[in-house]
A and B are shown apart, each in its own frame.
Chain A
Amino acid sequence: MAQIQSPLPGTFYHKPSPEEPAYKAKGDAVAVDDVIGLIEVMKTFIEVKAEAAGTFAGYVAENETPVMAGAVLAELDD
């Protein structure tokens, strides 16, 4: 089980915009550098990318919630 951590403190979003589906759903294949969510920090949106490949196990941090740097955002099954 690999974890994807937040690179920065901010607000975590699962979706590119409120009308769109989440970047990943349970069971989706994840490649290195795939975007899995966004962190809004000081009015700037930063893409969160997977550093390892795997199968998406699910989001750990909820959509639109504040997270600290290093917080676990999502998990991957190997």
Chain B
Amino acid sequence: MTISRLFIANRGEIAVRIIRAARELGIHTIQAYSEGDADMLAVKLADEAVCIGPAPSKDSYLDIAKVVAAAKQTHADAVHPGYGFLSESPAFARALAEAGIAYVGPSAETIERMGDKVAARQAAEAAGVPVVPGSKGRIGTVDEAAEVAKTVGYPVMIKAAAGGGGRGIRIAADEAELRKLAPQAQQEAQAAFGDGGLYLERAVQNPRHIEVQVLGDGETAIHCYERECSLQRRRQKVWEEAGAVCLDDETRETLCASAVALAQAVNYRGAGTLEYLYDSDRNEFYFIEMNTRIQVEHPVTEMITGVDLVQEMIKVCGGEKLSLTQADIACTGHAIEVRINAEDPLMQFMPWPGKVGAMTLPAGEGVRFDHFLYEGYQIPPFYDSLLGKLIVHAPTRAEAIDKLAAALEELSLEGLKTTAPLHKALAADPGVRAGDFHTQWLEPWLAAGNLTKATTGGVS
């Protein structure tokens, strides 16, 4: 089947992005919206729109029965879930399948399997994808722990084999420390779970977050190279790049090939992302999880490869074969995306759902701003704070940062407080310019007052 009526089960900037992609493919668009979103840009842009319930997400965007009923009622032949909300719900994918509506994403089975941490790790190992080195199973004695730690490499994390979550995790820097900490961990595990068995895993120090974009049609999978998203605050990415300049060509090829192997092994359909930790000291990468949907930061990949990922996922989920082979995918230059959130970075990132006043958006060669704003729009307080994504593309990383800094100067959103000042400060920071950061870098940088210094010119 070919998709002719696409229902968008999402909101905000990604809904706008999907409508534009679908329109270029000649597809009729149907936008779902909550009562809190009646004024949003996607509702104005779509060919038709349907209200799916009250403002709270649980009563609208997260309500599977309501979303499926609205898709049926509007005679949609496919649903695009965007990211967040129901985009990784096997139950949603199944409900659509039962209603005879195509899902723009992989099968419910694949979503389920890759959404389960243990099953995903097993699938990765079976496909030959490296995971964080750890013990094969339960460890019963301290001597055994020391033996395993030697092969895994220090520092190691000691966890209770029976436990879950972060409870009782200890980190040992060497064998002496391990011999001191392991018995404590055993006693604690015995007391808490009635089982003193331990599990060991290498503690990756200051890792970088690197991810690989894949596309599949259910038979063939290809990659569109990698992104680096190490600048994070509270585990939320704030600044993303394509490619990862910390990788040498050989590592990059091995990494991307491993992602394709796993995507191929699970018969992946649609656009997906495999996330890895990268240990730059060892030049090693480890799979951590797969996101079975389009990601917020997909535009940086589009900028360097020229592939429209959203169109490609719509096409393959309508039953077409991939329109590209691996040989068609080439990278040009470097791209950076920064997230413009409705938050005041100088007030502990307090949410700031204001009303959009006069708006000046940056433009020009290699500048893209994906957003859902218009002058006079009241930003609803019910959803996340992402307003838009400023994306730049230039021949080199240094030029991309310069272009980003210039575009941020051009951007003006009156009536709002946004994270733009954070990005201006980051773009000027010598550490960021040198690419010298990791996932644990941004929070200490903020805690040390670097943002305040940058925005007040050093005067407090």
Which parts of A46-78 form the interface with B (CB within 8 Å)? 46, 64, 66
Known: A9-B381, A11-B382, A66-B382. A41 touches B351 (CB 8 A): yes
- Which chain B residues numbered 340 to 355 have a C-beta less than 8 Å away from chain A? 342-343, 350-351, 353
CB neighbours of B343 from chain A (8 A):
42
Q: Are A66 and B36 in contact (CB under 8 A)?
A: yes
Q: Is the CB of B55 within 8 A of A43?
A: no
Say yes or no: A42 contacts B56, CB within 8 Å: no
Contact count band on A = 10 to 19
B353 & A43 in contact (Cβ 8 Å cutoff):
no
Contact between B55 and A42, CB atoms less than 8 A apart: no
A77 to nearest B CB, angstroms? Answer: 30
- Complex CA gap A41/B350 in Å reads 9
B383 on the A face (CB < 8 A): yes
Tell me, in angstroms, the Cα distance from A22 to B353 when the chains sit together: 26
Determine the distance from Cα of A46 to Cα of B353 in the docked complex, in whole angstroms: 14
Chain B residue at minimal CB-CB distance from A64: B56
Query: How many residues of chain B are within 8 Å of chain A by beta carbon?
Result: 13
What per-residue 1/0 map shows which CB atoms of A27-43 lie under 8 Å from chain B?
Answer: 00000000000001111
Which residues of chain B are within 8 angstroms of A41 by Cβ–Cβ distance?
Answer: 351, 353, 381
Interface assignment of A44: CB less than 8 Å from any CB of chain B: yes
In angstroms, Cα B343 to Cα A9, docked, is 14
Among B350, B351, B381, B384, which residue has its beta carbon within 8 angstroms of that of A11? B381
Are the CB atoms of A11 and B353 closer together than 8 Å? no
Given the interface contacts A8-B351, A9-B353, does A42 sit within 8 Å of B383 by beta carbon?
yes
**Assembly CA distance A41 to B56 (angstroms):** 11
Contacts of B291-350 to chain A: CB distance below 8 A = 342-343, 350
> Taking the complex as formed, is B385 at the interface, i.e. its CB lies under 8 A from any CB of chain A?
yes
Query: Chain B: residues with CB nearer than 8 A to chain A?
Result: 36, 55-56, 342-343, 350-351, 353, 381-385
Having A9-B381, A10-B353, A46-B351, one finds 12 other A-B pairs with CB under 8 Å, namely A8-B353, A9-B353, A10-B381, A10-B382, A11-B56, A11-B381, A40-B381, A42-B353, A44-B350, A64-B56, A66-B36, A66-B381
